[in-house]
Amino acid sequence: MKVLDHGYVELVETWGSDQAIIEAARMSTNKGFVGWGTPDAPGDEKLLAYLYNNKHATPFEMAGMVIEVKAPIFVFREWHRHRTQSYNEMSARYVPLPNENYVPDLANVLDRAHSTTKNKQSQAVGSILDAVNADIWIHALKAMYAAAEACYQTALECGVPKELARLIVPVGRYSRMRASANLRNWLAFLTLRTAPNAQWEIRQYANAVASLISESFPRTYNLFCEERVVAHV
């Protein structure tokens, strides 16, 4: 799933299922999974909803997924604050990072500069940004990326060790990683990173993660969405 200008989120594998959550919860009764029902005759979806809505969270640790992500380094630095996930990131100590850098589009920059949100992290420090100055900044950003790449390549060509040559690489440079978590903690990630006050870029990745979860664990994901709707009523 394409995200931003050069990024993506890709499913590597899943384990468990909505059914496996029911089976884990019923270990105490040795009953197992009985079956999903219908609107007229509900089945184990009632138990799944009970578990979710009453915060009986451990059965949701019996399912999960591994994904591969390509994102700017600054997005990873936010993502890695979720210490309930396991990560392996591409290392510029061993391989040069490709010359791909995140450049926000003009409309996005202006929209965020003019937003009336109370999110202090997104508020501008100086005067209100206009299209001319936003365009100047975008061109300056691209020039900085080009200068950083030239310095990076010069260092590599001169024999500077990769672990030192990378010092010039900006946080807008794309990197890649794999991330693994159980379903309980993926939903916790979504709770924080799809919220309106999360930075726009990581919200785009969280939305892609949500799409993968909805495909692999549709009943649990529907409960998550219902909870979010109720919370904002």
For residue 233, what pLDDT band results from cuts at 50, 70 and 90? very low
Domain boundary assignment for the chain: 2-17+63-231
CB environment 168-203: b (16+ within 10 A), e (fewer): bbbebbbbbbebbbbbbbbbbbbeebbeeebeebbe
Percent of the chain with pLDDT over 90: 81
Instruction: Give residue 148's Cα distance to chain centre.
Output: 26
Whether residue 112 lies in the annotated active site? no
Identify the CATH number of the domain defined by range 2-17+63-231: 3.30.1360.170
Q: What mean pLDDT, rounded, does the chain reach? A: 92
Enumerate the H helices of 88-130 as residue ranges: 106-113
Q: What is the mean pLDDT of residues 201-225?
A: 97
Query: What confidence tens digit (pLDDT) does each residue in 123-174 have?
Result: 555 568 899 999 999 999 999 999 999 999 999 999 999 999 999 999 999 9
For residue 34, pLDDT over 50 is answered with yes
**Looking at 93, 193, 203, 228, which residue is catalytic?**
193
- pTM as predicted: 0.91
Q: Are 231 and 191 in contact, with CB atoms under 8 Å apart?
A: no
pLDDT at 230: 67
Q: What is the mean pLDDT of residues 89-113?
A: 93
For residue 117, pLDDT over 60 is answered with no
The least confident of 31-40, 47-56, 73-82, 176-185 is 31-40
Query: Between 232 and 6, where is the model more confident?
Result: 6
